[in-house]
Structure 1
């Protein structure tokens, strides 16, 4: 399997080179989101915009789903230049820029306006510049994404019901710390294996963006959907910086504008579809519940000082982001 993946990556890298016999530029967009999930559709929107606006100049190929691997693996391929583009949850970059651990901490952002204020801040700009300078990834656009909720095999009525719950969390250090703080027993299970894990009892709960959970059908294996809204995801589209810098100013402008338009489309779509997607879950047999999240928020805030002392992110950064208007 590994040899096949290496061969595919090598072929994609070769296909992405500019042909000496043609003026058209070819490049590859690597996906990692469930098919028809909101980021899958965001990325398809970007690819379509680029191909339409750059007809005869540039053509992108979109490799959907996890054909190239999970998010971390696709990001590494963008770093190496084997793949040129990637788009999904901004928090995965915390694996290389530790300051970004904070964006996946529970109840950091109040609303979408707060997320946008963060994206406009010097803190965000410094983090994405470090990502570009150290890892060769340029973020072309970012914006508010989905809220993350949880699903479980048993009802969750309050914070006491989280105690000891076997909870699937992504491969992000802060998510692990958050769900430990909230009292669960976190387990690292691959996204693609989570449905089976919920069905067999390997895990009792999972969390994710509303659209992503629906697309992966987690609500069918764990029919209790709880509106914790614990994280507001930042959606993004990024490119290999060396490849981007090798393009003409016209192509760079085309790519940047297409990324901004695609991320904005994603933000608008998420807002419109959220209630509709929850209704679809109910139609499939799930129960959607809203709970008082104040005790969860309070526990997450109490843990901030400890996490900052352990170096999860710089001291005072949480308070700095809270002060953004």
Structure 2
């Protein structure tokens, strides 16, 4: 009798285990960032915590370093459902949903506090993030990627020193115009070409995160880190609509809570990483950090804002961001 009871209990346990396993789902998350960088580490923590807090019902497998292609490629795969989730920066998102372009405007955020306050608002999380639903995906959260500045092979102490410098820029109309308004000669290049272009003297510097001066050794040639802090891309975590709809409501809530916590955590992680990288760049590569007067740079962006305010899609969103900040420009 005892053996029969034991067998029955084992069978019941096996059925329960099989049912739980059948309910478990593994979601593929594509990203082009390195697994060991700040965003990569945060995504790993996201995956681990979601699996733990949903008792294994939701598992997220991360494909880092562009394993599934570049952002444009896996964005389409997320839309079609071939890939469930992806990390897309706000510059790429602007091509799909123009309202996101407001986040990319130069000096739309003039301080970390201003950026964090806006990103925590309902305007971003309840309004802007919901605008992609008809594109086949939803934004389920974001990670800060820090401010972008200028690094150069020549000293830059004022806006006048920028004139004529050939600076690498992303192939973005907004970014190209931004550098033109600063007086530079913007040079669109793939990110992978920056080091060799600096080495060969094809460019005088670039616009981007200053941590790369040490982490990617750009500081071997670009000896000046100019803290212009003109923009900050936001890394957005997106998920296919149909995949999201199949998740249990409580699992969606768990995932959202974890993502919110990591969004807030990313501010300090990114800031600490840049600070550490700059210290090493100065100590080991001889890089010099320059605190530039940003007021003339901000003023030079007026044409971009005048045009954006007239845009029927971006204008209303920019006005709402300004209202949150208590400013006009």
Is the TM value for this pair above 0.5? yes
**TM-score, structure 2 normalization:** 0.82
Structure 1, gaps ≥5 residues long: 1-18
8 Å Cα contact 2:213-2:277 kept in structure 1 = no
Q: How does 1:197-212 map to 2 (within 5 A)?
A: 197-211=197-211
Shift in Å at residue 139 of structure 1? 1.3
8 Å Cα contact 2:78-2:239 kept in structure 1 = yes
Measure, in 2, the Cα distance between the counterparts of 1:322 and 1:150. Answer: 25
Structure 2 counterpart of 1:150:
150
Structure 1 counterpart of 2:260:
260
Q: How does 1:117-156 map to 2 (within 5 A)?
A: 117-119=117-119, 120-122=121-123, 125-131=126-132, 133-142=133-142, 144-156=144-156
- Structure 2 residue 167 is the aligned partner of structure 1 residue 161: no
Structure 2 counterpart of 1:37:
37
Name the CA shift for 1:84/1:284 in 2 (closer, same or farther; >3 Å).
Answer: farther
Name the CA shift for 1:23/1:80 in 2 (closer, same or farther; >3 Å).
Answer: same
Measure, in 2, the Cα distance between the counterparts of 1:108 and 1:53. Answer: 36
8 Å Cα contact 1:171-1:188 kept in structure 2 = yes
Measure, in 2, the Cα distance between the counterparts of 1:93 and 1:164. Answer: 30
Measure, in 2, the Cα distance between the counterparts of 1:246 and 1:137. Answer: 13
Name the CA shift for 1:34/1:87 in 2 (closer, same or farther; >3 Å).
Answer: same
| Bigger-Rg structure (1/2) | 2
Structure 2 counterpart of 1:87:
87
Measure, in 1, the Cα distance between the counterparts of 2:69 and 2:283. Answer: 32
Shift in Å at residue 319 of structure 1? 4.8
Shift in Å at residue 227 of structure 1? 0.6
Shift in Å at residue 95 of structure 1? 0.9
Name the CA shift for 1:211/1:253 in 2 (closer, same or farther; >3 Å).
Answer: farther
Q: CA RMSD in A?
A: 2.6
Q: How does 1:269-284 map to 2 (within 5 A)?
A: 269-284=269-284
User: Paired residues, what number?
Assistant: 305
Structure 2 counterpart of 1:112:
112
Shift in Å at residue 128 of structure 1? 2.1
Measure, in 1, the Cα distance between the counterparts of 2:207 and 2:293. Answer: 17
Measure, in 2, the Cα distance between the counterparts of 1:207 and 1:41. Answer: 24
Measure, in 2, the Cα distance between the counterparts of 1:113 and 1:122. Answer: 16
SS at match of 1:62: strand
SS at match of 1:257: helix
Measure, in 2, the Cα distance between the counterparts of 1:211 and 1:42. Answer: 17
Measure, in 2, the Cα distance between the counterparts of 1:272 and 1:249. Answer: 35
Structure 2, gaps ≥5 residues long: 1-18
Measure, in 1, the Cα distance between the counterparts of 2:201 and 2:166. Answer: 9
Shift in Å at residue 88 of structure 1? 5.2
Q: Which moved more, 1:156-165 or 1:313-322?
A: 313-322
Shift in Å at residue 158 of structure 1? 1.5
Structure 2 counterpart of 1:74:
74
Measure, in 2, the Cα distance between the counterparts of 1:214 and 1:75. Answer: 30
**TM-score, structure 1 normalization:** 0.83
8 Å Cα contact 2:151-2:210 kept in structure 1 = no
Structure 1 counterpart of 2:247:
247
Measure, in 1, the Cα distance between the counterparts of 2:250 and 2:122. Answer: 27
Shift in Å at residue 272 of structure 1? 3.2
SS at match of 2:29: strand
SS at match of 2:131: helix
Measure, in 1, the Cα distance between the counterparts of 2:151 and 2:34. Answer: 17
Structure 2 counterpart of 1:225:
225
